[in-house]
Amino acid sequence: MRPPMHDPILPGATIGVLGGGQLGRMFAMAARRLGYRVHTLAPEHDTPTGQIADVEIEASYEDLDAVRAFARRVDVVTFEFENVPAAAAEAAATVTPVRPSGSALEIAQHRTREKTFLVKHGFPTAAFAVVASERDLVAAAQIGCPAVLKTAALGYDGKGQVRVDETKALADAWRELGHREAVLEAFVDLEREMSVIGARGVDGAFSHFGPIDNDHRHHILDISVAPSTVAPMLSAQAVEATRAVMETLGYVGILCIEFFVTRNGALLINELAPRPHNSGHLTFDACRTSQFEQQVRAICGLPLGSPELLQPAAMANLLGDLWLDGTPNWQAALAHPAVKLHLYGKTDPRRGRKMGHLTALAATADDARGLVVQARDRLLARAGE
């Protein structure tokens, strides 16, 4: 018989991961180190997660029979990708615990539901309006310009977004998005972007990694640096907002909140990611417990580990673009002994595709940033340079 929901799922048990990307891969590494077995389900084979998991199932998330069969063979199900249909999480939940829950996934994967949830509970967001029909365009224009029109579902890394510089361009922008439900958001004058990764256990225990500063390039995360240099008051506000969002959702697992800090010193929630996050990759090398290990502990009902940052760190994403002129020069990037290389096992380096990352540790956050940028630049150095 299956144990009641609050009994810990102990090492030796099996964790199921919906999704096959790099987040699942690093989660599987942490889970296997703790002695768990890992099964993964995704619509492809030889996935980054599947390469590390004990069992890889290739099936569509819409194939609910396959999802239920997958869930029957594991002790707890989690996901590494928020665009897993909520119906798949619900199907799995009829068989085994799903953490975080399908209801948290449903909110975080849809901008209208996410923003409505945040506003209802008093969390600050940029001004926005929902555009679901031609008629909504008139009211949405009140948001003013510049603004960004974002599809409500299936957007990430700036995909499904169009900048709107004058109100008369709004109808065209919506056409460009295929007249799908969208959210028009006021453009924020950013002082910085930062994220807080929180963990919440089955017993309600809360832990966080502290704000991490993030730089984006072409809407994709480029560099993350910890600790953040944000003012202590904003740091405390961001951590408290993360705790409160997780508590309101009754959340179990890792949640990342992406924040905007405006030039006027206001803190706004950009979006929720219901899983480990790209900005937390540096926790693998720099923290006593990584975000991935913390996710294992949280969803299995184990005590949370210390999130302490052992040394300032910076992470640089490695996109497929770096492969355009051939294999990157790994030796040159790793010439500095404090630089760590993580590759995700992807064989097709397309432009903009996240292939891996570098982490650098140093005495100060600035030094770590300089080092990781230099190491990444060296990837393009010819042998002998």
293 is a site residue for ligand AMP (CB under 6 A): no
- Give the other-Cβ count within 10 Å of 309's Cβ: 19
With CB under 6 A, what is the number of residues at the site for ligand AMP?
15
Cβ proximity to ligand AMP, 193 vs 213, nearer residue: 193
Contact pattern for ligand AMP over residues 229 through 268, marking x by CB under 6 A: -----------------------------x----------
| Token pair for 176 | 């460009």
DSSP 84-152: S-HHHHHHHHTTS-BSS-HHHHHHHTBHHHHHHHHHHTT-----EEEE-STTHHHHHGGG-SSEEEEES
**What are phi and psi for residue 108, nearest 5 degrees?**
-75, -20
Residues 191-210 that bind ligand AMP (CB under 6 A): 193
Measured CA distances, 255 to 79, 116, 143, 323 (Å): 12, 18, 29, 32
Taking contact as CB under 6 A, which single stretch among the options 73-81, 187-195, 231-239, 247-255 is the one that binds ligand AMP?
Answer: 187-195
Cβ proximity to ligand AMP, 3 vs 144, nearer residue: 144
| Token pair for 270 | 């950009």
84 is a site residue for ligand AMP (CB under 6 A): no
Q: What is the DSSP letter of 244?
A: H
Residue nearest to ligand AMP (CB): 188
Residue 360 contacts residue 313 (beta carbons within 8 Å): yes
The correct pick among 213, 271, 285, 293 for binding ligand AMP (CB under 6 A) is 271
User: Which residues does 175 contact at the CB level (< 8 Å), separation at least 6?
Assistant: none
Report the DSSP beta bridge partners of residue 153: 110
Taking contact as CB under 6 A, which single stretch among the options 79-87, 182-190, 230-238, 299-307 is the one that binds ligand AMP?
Answer: 182-190
113 is a site residue for ligand AMP (CB under 6 A): no
Taking contact as CB under 6 A, which single stretch among the options 62-70, 133-141, 148-156, 226-234 is the one that binds ligand AMP?
Answer: 148-156
State whether residue 153 is helix, strand or coil. strand
148 is a site residue for ligand AMP (CB under 6 A): yes
216 is a site residue for ligand AMP (CB under 6 A): yes
Taking contact as CB under 6 A, which single stretch among the options 183-191, 204-212, 362-370, 372-380 is the one that binds ligand AMP?
Answer: 183-191
The correct pick among 12, 35, 144, 158 for binding ligand AMP (CB under 6 A) is 158
Q: What angle do CA 200, 202, 204 make, to 5 degrees?
A: 55
Contacting residues toward ligand AMP, per CB under 6 A: 126, 148, 150, 155, 158, 185, 187-188, 190, 193, 216, 219, 258, 270-271
